[in-house]
Structure 1
């Protein structure tokens, strides 16, 4: 077990103390070296303590966000610590959470579930093991690409960018949405089927990847399938099946079929009549 030098940053002192208590209770690998209530103090603590893990609230006072701090850190060089963001906003349409998921970073919802906190810290710890396999510089390079993607998404909200998938052996794989045919759940993991016949195994359950639906081309048509409509060759609405461009036939659920019909009716709706 690796000990992680850790900074906790939250603009609410009660929240800050609660998170520290939970970390001490459930995450013995965490060594808290600083607790901060402002972004300026957090920036100073980063320079002072050279942390390996930063738990960072998304929203701070005076309309500041933690992403101001992240951009400042990136302007000074590569980020070499793991980030766990914390957000008090609902997960649905929370762009900080969506951008974190899309980038294979971590964003926990408040109040923080102790089990999810424990899992998040274990993932952060695994990144340092990944450095030993991939090489420190290469691992840091990939991580900074993930952070860059997250900040870009928060500015543009354009979810057509290549995204990151946490795969086996704690690897982070970058995939272009256009490469993806469909995602299939095996009950424990999610398999990405790609246009070049490759398969990538994602370590999360398929529901985690519903952030892909922020890209209009993706739709969850069944509890076990998310499809890329751009790589679908046929939708037979009467017999209720879709055929993907690789020949795979998928039977959507009742709700999935309804969503498909709605999507196609929106996409191919007749043009309104015009008058001279």
Structure 2
């Protein structure tokens, strides 16, 4: 049972989220408090020490970042709720931070709670918050790659390619690092998009800026000397991209 606090400055949204939580996770979530501004949110979290916090990005007197930066207790799972337009949602994905779009969908809420069980760490790294603020203010140029050992901040133009194996994705970086993340490729394909990135095969997504050569037989050689196959269904699209000089 997760002791849960909802931090939201709109009464109707607090009520709706409470009702939905009772519907989708009655045996997992126990709501222990509500707050609607920065000061009350800080005091409530410090006093009640929740397991899970739902927090709106924009509060009546400030932002969620002001709350988080002032906390001494941060041993909880955090799910942001936001009314940001769709293009800004990419910032959350690049920062590896869980979020729910308003109006909140009950099925998405249930999936978010289910994901918590797979998370080994409750504490959100400061670098995630820094990157989220950065990515919300401009077009994201970095991505957070969470592993069991650390949170890696990687510039998009340093990613040579990604390779998936089951529920894991391996990132090949220009400094010869290989970073393995316990998340499937599908989630990263949604944010590593064309024209720079191309899903060339079911198991491979490449940064086309690092292509050294490619053959009509269906092999792409990257400039780190690795070779990647072109899926038969992707050949026409890939060759068209190359012909257009992307």
TM-score (norm 2): 0.75
Q: Deviations over 1:150-171 (max 9, x none)?
A: 1222234341x3x32345xx66
| Unmatched runs of 5 consecutive residues or more in structure 1 | 132-139, 266-276
State how far apart, in whole Å, the 1-side matches of 2:8 and 2:40 are: 11
State how far apart, in whole Å, the 2-side matches of 1:77 and 1:152 are: 23
Instruction: Give the aligned partner of residue 109 of structure 1.
Output: 101
Instruction: Give the aligned partner of residue 18 of structure 1.
Output: 16
Instruction: Give the aligned partner of residue 57 of structure 1.
Output: 56
Is 1:155 aligned with 2:155? no
Which of the pair is proportionally richer in strand? 2
1:213 is displaced (CA, Å) by 3.1
1:209 is displaced (CA, Å) by 0.9
State how far apart, in whole Å, the 1-side matches of 2:193 and 2:74 are: 27
Instruction: Give the aligned partner of residue 137 of structure 1.
Output: none
Q: Deviations over 1:191-212 (max 9, x none)?
A: 3344576654433332311354
Change (3 A) 1:196 1:69: closer
State how far apart, in whole Å, the 1-side matches of 2:151 and 2:195 are: 22
User: Contact 2:162 / 2:169 at 8 angstroms: preserved in 1?
Assistant: yes
User: Contact 1:190 / 1:203 at 8 angstroms: preserved in 2?
Assistant: yes
| Unmatched runs of 5 consecutive residues or more in structure 2 | none
TM-score (norm 1): 0.68
Q: How does 1:69-108 map to 2 (within 5 A)?
A: 69-75=64-70, 77=72, 79-89=74-84, 91=86, 93=87, 95=88, 97-108=89-100
